Amino acid sequence: MAGIWVEHADHLLGLVNHNKDLEAHLYLEQLMLFPVNIQDKIIEDISVLPHCSNEEVAKILTRYTMSDMKKH
What was the pLDDT predicted at 50? Answer: 84
pTM: 0.67
Query: Are the C-beta atoms of 24 and 12 separated by less than 8 Å?
Result: yes
- The length of the chain is 72
What was the pLDDT predicted at 39? Answer: 86
Q: Which band of pLDDT confidence, cut at 50, 70 and 90, is reported for residue 6?
A: confident
Q: Is 44 exposed, middle or buried (0-12, 13-18, 19+ CB in 10 A)?
A: exposed
